[in-house]
Amino acid sequence: MSALTEAWQAALAAEHQAVFGYGLLGPRAGDDAALAAADQDAHERLRDATSAALLATGLVPVAPAADYPALYPVGDQAAARRLALRLEDGCAAAWRFLFLQAAGRPSLRRVAQANLTASAVRGVRWRRLVDPRHPAPAFPGL
């Protein structure tokens, strides 16, 4: 498997985990329920688009895991916020990795850049709730 294929599959795997994670944190989101639902919808759309793009190139998309034990427990709203932030940071890192590997594929690189940016923006929203003093990382995805 090429580094590009591995990076693309890793981005899809991160999206699978984000969809699962938002489903897990949703019941504990409290006042953040609308934000959590919107972010879950965004990740579902991105997961589906990424899977379709992989299929279109003749690749078999990586399947979601049956469970993601590292995401547990989510006992309250504060834990839900921290999990959402971890999910967005993980997706940003995966899309950044794809961006780096897609140097010879301008259209895929643009997709990776857009998705890195989207995850970074969602991450800022959650980070602002988790730690208002530090709402944005200097280099998203690192």
Whether residue 55 contacts residue 61, with contact meaning beta carbons closer than 8 Å, is answered with yes
Asked whether residue 137 is assigned to any structural domain, the reply reads no
User: Residue 135 pLDDT > 90, yes or no?
Assistant: no
Asked whether residue 99 is assigned to any structural domain, the reply reads yes
- What's this model's pTM, rounded to 2 decimal places? 0.94
The Cα-based distances of 70 to 20, 24, 104 in angstroms read 12, 12, 34
The Cα-based distances of 3 to 127, 132, 135, 138 in angstroms read 31, 37, 32, 26
Asked whether residue 136 is assigned to any structural domain, the reply reads no
Among 118, 43, 135, CA closest to 81: 135
Q: What is the pLDDT of residues 23-52, one digit of tens each?
A: 999 999 999 999 999 999 999 999 999 999
How many independent structural domains does the chain possess?
A: 1
Please give the residue range of the domain that contains residue 16.
Answer: 3-130
Q: What is the pLDDT of residues 107-127, one digit of tens each?
A: 999 999 999 999 999 999 999
CATH number at residue 117: 1.20.1260.10
